[in-house]
Amino acid sequence: MSKKAGKKRRQKDVGACDVTRDRVRAHFLDGQTGPWARKLGAEPSATDSAPSTDAEASASSSSETAASAASRPVGPDYSVPSSIDIVADPVLHAISTRRSISKLGPETPNDADLRELIHAVSSVADHKGLKPWRFIIIRGHDRNRLGEALDEAGNVQRKTGEINEKPLRAELLLALVASPQDNPKVPEWEQHATAAGAGHLLELALWQAGWGVMWRSGNLTNEPAVRRLHRLKESELLMGWLYIGAVPERYRQRLPNSTRPLPDPEQFLDTL
Ligand SMILES: Cc1cc2nc3c(=O)[nH]c(=O)nc-3n(C[C@H](O)[C@H](O)[C@H](O)COP(=O)(O)O)c2cc1C
């Protein structure tokens, strides 16, 4: 892109950014994101009678009959290209508003919910379909065992009764393990990329489902004591833990006014 065109584009983006920010705020306020929305969804909401987006407005104003709606396939229609709108499109909206939550409430998704979300993210791009990743569920006392393993790995001696509280920062931790297979066509780094992709997709899926998540790791993650606790094979790599819990109510209330500006996309793009 020429310098002149780039400048023009950036000026246009600044204006577009303001509009987008306002729309993102309004979107958060309408309660359409997360399990708190599930609760709202059980009751008739303002959005049932007043469409909140252009897309909804055009859908509700169409003369579609109940019979034709019932015969529609379930899920979005990918047979037509959609406009790129990071507020109206729920996928782009979830991606662009995702953020890590470091202080989590005690509620967690149950194992059935986790299975459902992992089912969804198993669509991750995966060369030769080797499925080189897995998650390990860590709840309850297993978090203390992780604290002990981290202490052993870091040579930390504690007074009697003291424990490593780091793994207790959430009620549920999911350890992400990269499990590369021997394959002449798929080098190990590609399989690590797939495993990381599964982690990022799961973070996003949890966020979209209304849960708070923070991916944590550290220098001790692949030390022998920690690897032993997770019963890793020699070839496997521990990629850290997703700390999962509820988004605290106070934080949730602040979300509408704390939209984080996204970085300028120019910095991520170049040509050969
Ligand atoms: C593999 C991986 C490991 C991470 N480990 C840590 C960590 O140990 N401690 C930490 O504060 N953040 C860690 N982060 C970063 C946070 O998860 C988070 O992305 C960061 O705080 C920025 O917040 P955001 O996700 O809202 O942009 C890690 C991220 C990744 C992808």
Per-residue model confidence as pLDDT tens digits over 112-158: 999 999 999 999 999 999 999 999 999 999 999 999 999 999 999 99
64/251: higher pLDDT: 251
Residue 107: pLDDT above 90? yes
Q: Which two tokens stand for residue 60?
A: 């509700």
Q: For 5-19, 89-103, 135-149, 214-228, which range has the lowest pLDDT when averaged over its residues?
A: 5-19
Asked whether residue 70 is domain-assigned, the answer is: yes
Is 88 in the same domain as 128? no
Q: d(Cα 118, Cα 73) in Å, to the nearest integer?
A: 23
195 and 86 within one domain? no
Count the residues in the chain: 272
For residue 253, being part of any structural domain is answered with no
Among 24-33, 52-61, 121-130, 154-163, which is the least confidently predicted range?
A: 52-61
Based on the fold, state whether residues 19 and 57 are members of the same structural domain. Answer: yes
Handedness of CA 96, 98, 100, 101 (dihedral sign): positive
Q: Is residue 263 part of a domain?
A: no
Q: Which atom of ligand 1 is nearest to the CA of 218?
A: 8
- pLDDT given for residue 117 in this prediction: 96
DSSP state, residue 75: S
Provide the pLDDT for residue 161: 93
Give yes or no: residues 35 and 122 share one domain. no
- In this prediction, residues 70-79 reach a mean pLDDT of 65
Shortest-distance atom of ligand 1 to CA 215: 17
Q: Are residues 160 and 221 in the same domain?
A: yes
Same domain, 67 and 27: yes
The answer on 86 and 177 residing in a single domain is no
Q: What is the pLDDT of residues 167-213, one digit of tens each?
A: 999 999 999 999 999 999 999 999 999 999 999 999 999 999 999 99
Q: Do 27 and 125 fall into the same domain? A: no
Q: How confident is the model at residue 70 (pLDDT cuts 50, 70, 90)?
A: low
Same domain (yes/no): 230, 144: yes
Q: What is the CATH number of the domain that holds 138?
A: 3.40.109.10
Task: Determine whether the shortest distance from the Cβ of 99 to ligand 1 is under 6 A.
Answer: yes
Is 200 touching ligand 1 by the criterion CB < 6 Å? no
The token pair that represents 181 in the structure block: 């297979």
Instruction: Tell me if 182 is assigned to some domain.
Output: yes
Has residue 171 been placed in a domain? yes
Decide: 214 in ligand 1 pocket, CB within 6 A. yes
- Give domain status of residue 262, yes or no: no
Residue nearest to atom 25 of ligand 1 (CA): 100
The domain of 49 spans 3-99
Mean pLDDT in residue range 104-112:
94
Q: Would the CB of 197 count as within 6 Å of ligand 1?
A: no
End-to-end CA distance of the chain: 12
Q: Are residues 64 and 183 in the same domain?
A: no
Q: Decide: 251 in ligand 1 pocket, CB within 6 A.
A: no
Helices (H), the chain: 3-29, 35-41, 46-49, 54-61, 66-70, 90-97, 111-121, 142-153, 188-208, 224-229, 249-254
Judge if 124 and 165 occupy the same domain: yes
Question: Across residues 42-60, what is the average pLDDT?
Answer: 39
Maximum alpha-carbon separation in the chain:
72
More confident site: 259 or 157? 157
Last residue of a domain, one of 72, 99, 126: 99
Q: Give me the half-sphere count of Cα atoms (radius 13 Å) on the Cβ side of residue 23.
A: 16
> Does the residue 12 lie in any domain?
yes
Read off the pLDDT band of 51 (50, 70, 90): very low
User: From atom 12 of ligand 1, which residue's Cα is the shortest distance away?
Assistant: 216
Q: How many domains does the chain have?
A: 2
Name residues whose C-beta falls within 8 Å of residue 33's C-beta, 6 or more positions apart in sequence. Answer: 27, 93, 94, 97, 208, 210
Q: Are residues 27 and 66 in the same domain?
A: yes
Share of the chain above pLDDT 70, in %: 72
Ligand 1 lined by 212 (C-beta under 6 Å): no
Return the bridge partners of 176, or none.
Answer: 135
Pairing of strands 237-246, 211-216: antiparallel
DSSP 266: G
> Is 61's pLDDT higher than 50?
no
Q: Which residue has the higher pLDDT, 4 or 68?
A: 68
* Residue 252 covered by a domain: no
pLDDT confidence bin for 69, thresholds 50/70/90 = low
Q: What CA–CA distance (Å, rounded) separates 34 from 267?
A: 31
Pocket test for ligand 1, best of 146, 214, 244 (most atoms within 8 A of CB): 214
pLDDT at residue 222, as a whole number: 98
Average pLDDT value for the chain: 81
Whole-angstrom Cα distance, residue 218 to residue 3? Answer: 41
